[in-house]
């Protein structure tokens, strides 16, 4: 029996890239690969890249440079670049880095086994098409191992919103929803392998409109169907766009107990002028009214968001509008960034805000968001929560899990409780997590 080849995957960016990396590993499993945690042990290295952050491509080239000694020591080592930087920079990566054997975009990784076979025969392979076939229909299945208690499941890809700062429509393509039956089959398979909580993924996941029995299904209808799967105890979804938050999805937050009370709903700015410049197609007021409706349906809903400061043309008054919106919403968690130009996007050609001004605004915004996050966590002390135990903690006899509000929770409990859900009482709020005891 031939010795298994070893695959090392380094994943950057969003949860969808985590999911994609898992599927790439499964696909290459049909070619005899098993995963390894060490690049030094690998027969193939894959970088699954993200193009959202500043200088993403240069960071990939820097990372590739670190693998030169490994390639020199083992000329048979194959190196590939996948994901959104691969989509944007395909031929350029091959030109600048001769050590790269293959480049594959996020819509064509189902072709990885054939590409791997080609590079084993001495070819260099690039595939950054937007193919007509659905990659999920053509992904070969590798070994189906037991899973941890949580998993991601992609239900929607691509984006039609064309926000002025974002590369996703160019690297992931147009919005596409997966058929209902394939999602349900994959969900049941995950549950059979030990998964208790599934997070549904999409660039605009609440734009989901997949085909199923009776025609077009919304995300809310999909969630209600998944909630009937025996053994699946928790459902989440991310990332949402305010303009796609339909009435039935708002209602599901109030009446579907398996849908967790946590929602990531990016707004990006509190200034209508900047929102228009971003091509967001919503206003601060419409966003606030949406939050009111969501909280009316689920009063304990914990909200998370994304913010960009220093967008081209942003004034101090625009920034103060953002601060006012944050105070009005009170986020339990949020992500905030200075604007960085992405080549090829409309905003990249506009005059930028001075870096020191943007940095100052970012620090002020993050201070307010941190204050709100700490207040939310402190408010959990003394409360009873439901925690799904996921893995051992750093201390002996400690387990780490997630509450229904997505807080990390540390609890003393036996290791055989991993994968179980328990009621706990929060005893302390610590940095980015909670301490609790089993009731």
Could you list the residues known to form a binding site, using ranges: 14, 50, 84, 159, 163, 166
**DSSP state string for 370-408:** HHHHHHHHHTTTT-EEEEEEEEE-SSTTEEEEEETT--E
Distance between CA atoms of residues 382 and 439, nearest Å: 12
Give the contacts of 69 (CB within 8 A, at least 6 positions apart).
none
Q: Do the beta carbons of residue 332 and residue 405 sit within 8 Å?
A: yes
**Centroid of chain to Cα 48:** 13
**Helix (H, G, I), strand (E, B), or coil: what is residue 308?**
strand
- How many CB atoms lie under 10 A from the CB of residue 282? 18
Q: Is the dihedral of CA 166, 168, 169, 175 positive or negative?
A: negative
* Consecutive H or E run containing 211: strand 209-212
**DSSP state string for 104-128:** E-TT-GGGHHHHHHHHHTT--EEE-
Q: Do the beta carbons of residue 155 and residue 222 sit within 8 Å?
A: yes
Q: What are phi and psi of 37, to 5 degrees?
A: -90, -5
Distance between CA atoms of residues 294 and 427, nearest Å: 29
Could you list the residues known to form a binding site for [4Fe-4S] cluster, using ranges: 14, 50, 84, 159, 163, 166
Which two tokens mark 407? 């807080």
């Amino acid at each position: 029996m031939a010795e298994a080849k070893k695959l090392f995957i380094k994943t950057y960016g969003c949860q969808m890239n985590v999911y994609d990396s898992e599927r790439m590993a499964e696909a290459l499993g049909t070619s005899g690969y098993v995963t390894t945690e060490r690049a030094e042990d690998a027969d193939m290295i894959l970088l699954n890249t993200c193009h959202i952050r500043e200088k993403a491509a240069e960071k990939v080239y820097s990372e590739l440079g670190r693998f030169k000694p490994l390639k020199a020591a083992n000329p048979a080592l194959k190196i590939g670049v996948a994901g959104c930087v691969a989509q944007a920079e395909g031929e350029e990566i091959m030109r600048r880095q001769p050590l790269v054997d293959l480049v594959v975009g996020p819509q064509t990784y189902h072709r990885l086994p054939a590409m791997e076979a080609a590079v084993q025969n001495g070819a260099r392979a690039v595939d950054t098409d937007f193919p007509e076939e659905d990659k999920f229909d053509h992904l070969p299945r590798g070994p189906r191992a037991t899973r941890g208690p949580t998993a991601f499941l992609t239900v929607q890809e691509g984006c039609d919103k064309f926000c002025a700062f974002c590369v996703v429509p160019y690297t992931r393509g147009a919005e596409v929803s997966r058929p209902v039956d394939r999602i349900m089959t994959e969900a049941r398979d995950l549950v059979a392998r030990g998964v208790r909580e599934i997070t549904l993924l999409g660039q605009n996941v609440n734009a989901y409109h997949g085909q199923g029995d009776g025609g077009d299904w919304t995300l809310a209808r999909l969630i209600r169907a998944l909630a009937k799967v025996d053994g699946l105890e928790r459902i989440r979804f991310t990332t949402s766009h305010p303009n796609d938050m339909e009435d039935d999805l708002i209602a599901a937050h109030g009446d579907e107990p398996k849908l967790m009370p946590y929602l990531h709903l990016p707004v990006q700015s509190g200034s209508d002028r900047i929102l228009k410049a971003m091509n967001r197609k919503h206003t601060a007021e419409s966003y606030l009214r949406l939050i009111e409706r969501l909280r009316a349906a689920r009063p304990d809903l914990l909200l998370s968001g994304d913010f960009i400061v220093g967008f081209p043309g942003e004034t101090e008054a625009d920034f103060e509008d953002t601060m006012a919106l944050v105070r009005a919403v009170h986020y339990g968690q949020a992500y905030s960034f200075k604007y960085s130009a992405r080549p090829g996007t409309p905003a990249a050609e506009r005059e930028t805000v001075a870096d020191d001004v943007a940095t100052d605004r970012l620090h002020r915004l993050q201070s307010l968001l941190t204050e709100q996050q700490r207040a939310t966590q402190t408010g959990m002390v003394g409360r009873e929560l439901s925690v799904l135990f996921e893995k051992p903690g750093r201390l002996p006899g400690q387990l780490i899990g997630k509450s229904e509000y997505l807080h990390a929770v540390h609890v003393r409990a036996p290791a055989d409780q991993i994968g179980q859900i328990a009621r706990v009482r929060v005893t302390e709020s610590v940095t980015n997590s909670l301490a609790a005891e089993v009731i």
